[in-house]
A = this chain, B = another copy of it.
Amino acid sequence: MKKNLGAKDLLMPNPVLVIGTYDEEGRPNAMTLAWAGVVSSNPPAISISMREQRKTLANIKVKQAFTVSFATEDTMKASDYVGLVSGNKGDKVYSAGLTAVHAEHIDAPYFAEYPVTLECKVMDSRKIGQHINIIGEIVNVLADEEVLDANGKIDVTKVKAIAYDHTGENYIAASQIVGKAFKEGSALH
A residues neighboring B (CB under 8 Å)? 1-15, 34-47, 49, 68, 70, 73, 76-85, 95-97, 104, 112, 116, 118, 123-124, 128-131, 133, 135, 137-145, 148, 152-156, 159, 161-165, 167-189
Is there an interface contact between B180 and A169, defined as CB atoms closer than 8 Å? yes
Q: A1-B144, A3-B148, A173-B173 are in contact. Are A12 and B159 (CB under 8 A)?
A: yes
Q: Which residues of B contact A154 (CB under 8 A)?
A: 5, 10, 12, 167-168
Number of copies: 2
Considering residues A12, A79, A163, which has the most beta carbons from chain B within 10 angstroms of its beta carbon? Answer: A12
From B131, B133, B177, contact of A170 by CB (8 A): B177
Q: Is the CB–CB distance between B180 and A9 below 8 Å?
A: no
By the criterion CB–CB under 8 Å, are A133 and B3 in contact?
Answer: no
Tell me the bound Cα distance from A179 to B186 in angstroms: 36
Given A148-B3, A179-B162, A189-B81, the answer on whether A9 and B171 have CB atoms closer than 8 Å is no
Of B1, B3, B9, B174, the residue contacting A172 (CB under 8 A) is B174
Q: A6-B141, A47-B39 are in contact. Are A176 and B173 (CB under 8 A)?
A: yes
Cα distance, A10 to B41, chains bound together (Å) = 9
| A76 shortest CB reach to chain B, Å | 5
New A-B contacts (20) at CB < 8 Å, excluding given A5-B154, A154-B167:
A5-B142, A6-B140, A11-B37, A12-B156, A35-B38, A35-B39, A39-B133, A40-B49, A45-B128, A80-B183, A80-B185, A81-B188, A83-B181, A84-B189, A156-B165, A162-B179, A169-B182, A170-B177, A170-B178, A173-B173
Q: How far is the CA of A182 from the CA of B156 in the complex (A)?
A: 25
CB distance from A139 to the nearest CB of B (A): 5
The residue of chain B having its C-beta at the shortest distance from the C-beta of A36 within the complex is B37
